[in-house]
Amino acid sequence: MKFRSIILVAGLAGASATGALAEAHGGKVKVGMITTLSGGGAGLGIDVRDGFMLAAKGNENIELVIEDDQRKPEIAVQLADKMIQSENVDVMTGIIWSNLAMAVVPAATAQGKFYLSPNAGPSQLAGKGCSPLYFNVSWQNDAFNEAAGSWANDNGINKVFLMAPNYPAGQDMIAGFKRTYKGEVTDEIYTKLGQTDYAAEISQMRASAADTVYFFLPGGMGISFMKQYAGSGVDKAAMGPAFSFDQGILGAIGEAALGVKNTSHWSKDLDNEANKKFVADFQAEFGRLPSLYAAQGYDTALLLMSAAAKADVKDTEAFRAALNEADFASVRGDFKFAPNQHPIQDIYMREVVKEGDVVTNKVIGVAAADHSDVYGADCKM
Amino acid sequence: MTTILLIEQVLNGIQSGIMLFLMAAGLTLIFGVMGLINLAHGSLYMVGAFAAAAVSAATGSFVIGLIAALAAAAAAGAIVEYTVIRRLYDRDHLDQVLATFALILIFSEGTRYLFGSFPLFLDIPSALQGPITLPGGIQYPLYRLVIIGVGLIIAVGLFALIARTRIGIQIRAGEADREMIAALGIDISKLYTLVFALGAALAGLAGAMVGAIQSVQVGMGEPVLILAFVVIVIGGIGSIKGALVGALLVGLTDTLGGVLLPPLFATFMDASAATSVGSSLASMSIYILMAIVLLFRPTGLFGEA
C-alpha cells in the first residue's frame, strides 16, 4: 500500500538543475514532506499538502519530496531515515499526529535537519525537548483549549461536562482547558480512542448538571458524536477545539453541527489580505473550501520561502535566524515566534453556521489574544 | 446514579449489542458454514455505508439508499466469493487471513479512489429524527429504537431461514459435511456464493443503518470487525443464537462498564485517578468477558466442539 513516491519540482524551472537560477541570497531548498495521505485521517494530510503546494507553486527554489506515512509511527520513521540519508533533504515537514511527530522530530533535528511543524504540537517539543532546528508553525496542543477555557470564563459558562478520548493528546487537551477555566467541572469522562457510538456518554450528559459540553474528538469520532448528540434532544451547548469542526468534516456532520462553538487560530473569514487571497486561490485550485490544516500547510510554505529568500539553508545559523523573523504575511494575521520557536498568535472563537448550502465556520470573537504556550519556560536553548 | 439513567444505559447497551449483532450474524454464518475467516467483512460494511450515502445523496431518499446498500454489499460479496474466496476454502486459515486482508486494502483504496478521502454525509430520514419519550419519562432517540427493531426482525428472520427452510437445511448440512451434501446433488458452490452474499448483505445493511449515526469514512469497518469477532467467539462460532446472545453481552458489558466502573473506582480512589483507571478497565472489559467465557466454555456459549 506504499504510496508512490513523488518528486515534484515546483514551477517550470525544474529542468535547470544547475542552480544557476537560484536567487541572490538563498539557494535551493530540498523539502521532505512526510504526511498522512491514506487510511483514516488522510483528509488532514491531503489538506496540509495541498496548502503547502499552493503557496510553493511557481517557486523554483523549493524542491518537494512527498511521502505517505499511513498514520503509522514506524513507517514515518522509515521514511524520515530515507529522506535524511538518501534523499538528503534540508528541511522536513508535514507530520499531522503528535505520536508520529515524537517518533520523527527529535531524530531529524539531532541529525541537523530543520523541521517545520504544519500540525501537531506535543508539549515535550515545546518545553524540555525543544530544539533550535524545530519550528512549530501551527500551535502547541494546549493552545485552543486554554483559549476556550478563558472564553468560557468570560461568557458565563459555569458548569462544563468534559469529554476526550483516553490517550495522551486527549488528556493534554482536557488539562489545557482546565488550566484556564475557573468554573465548575461537573463530569470528566474519557472514551475509548476510535469509539464510534456515544449513546452512553450522551445519556450521562442528559443527566448531568452541566450547562455546556466541552469535548475533543478529532476526525470520525467527532462526526459520530455530533450526529448522535444532535439527534438525542440534549439541549446543552457544545464547544470544543476546532479539530472536530474543520471544513473537511463539517460536510459529513451537516446541520447537526450548527451553533457549535470552537476555538481556532484561523478561520476562512478572517479579514486580512493574505487570507482572502489564500481562500480564493485554494478554492480555484482545488474546488473545495480550505480547512485549518490547509491554512497551516500554506503558512508553513510561506515561512520556508521567506527564510530561503534571505539565507542559504546550508548556513544553519543564518537560516534559523531568518525563520525566527517569521517575515511572511500569515493567513492568520499577526504571527510571531516565542523564544521556544512556537507561535504567538490570536486564538479565535468560531461558530458553525450555514452559508447558503454550505456548513462552515464564522469568527465570533477573540478567545485569547497573543496566546503562547506555558511550556516555553522549560525550553533551554 | 438514578434508576432512569440506569435503564437508559441498559437500553444503550442493548442497542449497541444489536448493532454488533447485525455485523456478527453475517460473519458467523460465513465462518460457521464455510469455515472461512473473512477479515474483509468490515469492508463490506463500509461498502454498504458508502452505497447508502452516495445513493441517498443522489435520490434524497434514505430507503432507496438502504436498498442500494443491500444490493451493493451483496453484489460485492458475490463477486469477491466468485473471484477470490472460492479458491480459499481448502487452504488453511493463514492463507485466508492473508487473502482477505489484501481484500481490505483493495476495498479501502478503491473506495478512496472513488469517493475521496473526506468522510461522506449520510443522515437519518427526517421521520425518524429526534427523541421520543418512553414510559417513565426516558427520552430516547427514535432511530436507535428502530435499529433495535430491525435487528430483532433480522434475528428472527435468520432463525426461521436456518431452521425452517430448504436453504437452511442445506446450509446446516453443508456445515456438517460438505462432501456428502455435494454427493447428494446439491450445488455446493452456488450455495456458498449465496451464503456469502447473504452475509455480505447483512454487513452492508449494518453499515448503512449505523453509518447514518456515525462517520461514513474509509476504514470504518475495521474497529467493528474486531468487536464482531469477539462476539462470535463468545457466542460460539457458527451459531446465530450465539451471535445474538454474544452481541447483547458485549454491548451491555461495554456500555455499563464504561458508565459504572469510573464511579465505582471513585468510591475508594481520588477522582482523576479513578477516571483514568476506570476508563482503561472499561476498555478492557469485553476482552476480560471473552477470556472468562472461554475459560469455562472453550467453544463459546453456543458453540459445538
Kindly report the pTM of this predicted structure.
0.82
> Which residues neighbour A102 within 8 Å (Cβ) at sequence distance 6 or greater?
A122, A124, A125
pLDDT at A13 over 50: no
Complex ipTM value: 0.82
Give pLDDT, residue B123: 85
Cβ neighbours of B108 in A, within 8 Å = 38-39
pLDDT at B116 over 90: no
> Which residues neighbour B279 within 8 Å (Cβ) at sequence distance 6 or greater?
A166, A189, A190, A191, A192, B258, B261, B262
Size of interface A-B (CB pairs under 8 A): 132
**Per-domain residue ranges for chain B?**
13-122+137-296
Q: Choose the most confident range, by mean pLDDT, from A121-125, A144-148, A200-204, B256-260.
A: A144-148
**pLDDT tens-digit readout, B120-139:** 888 888 888 888 888 877 88
Give pLDDT, residue A18: 36
Which residues, listed in sequence order, are joined to residue A66 by a DSSP beta bridge? Answer: A6, A33
Task: Cell 463477486: give the residue.
Answer: B79
Q: State the Cα–Cα distance between residues A284 and A277, nearest whole angstrom.
A: 10
Burial-class residue B180 by CB neighbours within 10 Å (0-12, 13-18, 19+): exposed
The DSSP letter of residue A70 is T
Cβ neighbours of A191 in B, within 8 Å = 258, 279
- From the list B108, B219, B276, the residue facing A190 with the nearest CB is B276
Structural domains of chain A, with CATH: 2-139+269-337 (3.40.50.2300), 143-264+346-378 (3.40.50.2300)
Cross-chain residue pair B109–A38, CB shorter than 8 Å = yes
> Which residues neighbour A248 within 8 Å (Cβ) at sequence distance 6 or greater?
A43, A44, A47, A291, A293, B118, B119
**Looking at CA atoms only, how far is residue A120 from chain B in angstroms?**
20
Give pLDDT, residue A40: 65
> Which residues neighbour A186 within 8 Å (Cβ) at sequence distance 6 or greater?
A159, A160, A161, A208, A209, A210
Cross-chain residue pair A223–B119, CB shorter than 8 Å = yes
Which of B9, B22, B101, B121 would you mutate first to test chain A, the one with the most A CBs within 10 A? B121
